[in-house]
Amino acid sequence: MLGDKPHQSLAQLAKIHGPLMSLQLGRVTTIVASSPDTAREILQKHDKVLSDRHVPAAAQVLDIHKFTIPALPVGSRWRNLRKVCNSYIFTTQRLDMNQDLRRVKVLGLLEGVRRHAAERPGEALDVGKAVFKASLNALSSTILSMDLADEEEFKELVRELLGEIGKPNLGDYFPVVARLDLQGIQRRSEGHLRKILNWFGWVIDQRRRDLKSESYVSTNDMLDTLLAMGDTDHDSKHEEAAATMDPLCIKYLFLVRLTLHQL
């Protein structure tokens, strides 16, 4: 019914049935809001009631859905993770601290464009790719103090993981067969995810060793901040939130932050 362009099919259905529809996709009931007013009604006035979302089977491998804000239902862990993000990561002070870094990455982007024009006159430049690389490096530098755009293996793993999660999966529409993994999507997703988490684990272990060195100078990136949370006294308001930042949760927080950039 939805075809290979579901957004267009849903738009056509909305013209017939109105801006708010209920679709039965296999065994899954799906609510579709097709106008700004209905979307605003859902997201602003009834967000708590409707905030829980269906998590694809491929996004449940290795329990990823139990540690990430986009997949968690509203509850204590979800609130604690939001509190960590709002109080320690996405604060105005931290954004101001990273302003110079963002400026350096933008200047690097402009220099790359200038150099391409000088060295390859008449040859087209993939501006989208250049901007993507600069923005990914700016993001990964604030998180890990390293340029991930140059880590081809990591980028390929993330692309493959997102590709598997985005594939139509019978298990998402007929949960009774989800465990059978008839298309192999969960198996491949788990393989990609395990490699990504192992890579993050290596980065975290290396940073822990660096932190023990007297010569280490903190970069105040996201990783330093999250690792320090477990070693610092917090007021009662933030103590429970800080306690959720175990190594596995840190890995998944990084995963979501970096993969959302590629969507």
Question: Tell me, what's the pLDDT at 193?
Answer: 92
SS3 29: strand
Query: CA 26 → CA 17, 137, 176, distances in Å?
Result: 20, 41, 11
Low-confidence ranges of the chain (pLDDT < 50): 236
Question: Tell me, what's the pLDDT at 232?
Answer: 55
Annotated domain spans of the chain: 1-51, 54-260
Q: For residue 65, give the nearest of 55, 74, 54 by alpha carbon.
A: 55
SS3 33: strand
Instruction: In whole angstroms, give the CA distance from residue 32 to residue 48.
Output: 17
Instruction: In whole angstroms, give the CA distance from residue 144 to residue 206.
Output: 11
Q: Is the Cβ–Cβ distance between 173 and 28 less than 8 Å?
A: yes
Phi-psi region at 122: left, alpha or beta (left = phi > 0; alpha = psi -120 to 50): left
CA end-to-end span of the chain: 25
The token pair that represents 71 in the structure block: 């997949």
Question: Tell me, what's the pLDDT at 263?
Answer: 52
Phi-psi region at 45: left, alpha or beta (left = phi > 0; alpha = psi -120 to 50): alpha
Question: Tell me, what's the pLDDT at 219?
Answer: 77
Q: Is the Cβ–Cβ distance between 199 and 258 less than 8 Å?
A: no
Count Cβ atoms below 10 Å from residue 253 Cβ, excluding itself.
23
Fold of 54-260: Cytochrome p450 (1.10.630)
SS3 23: strand
Question: Tell me, what's the pLDDT at 40?
Answer: 87
* pLDDT one-digit tens code per residue, 135-161: 888 888 888 888 876 677 887 888 888
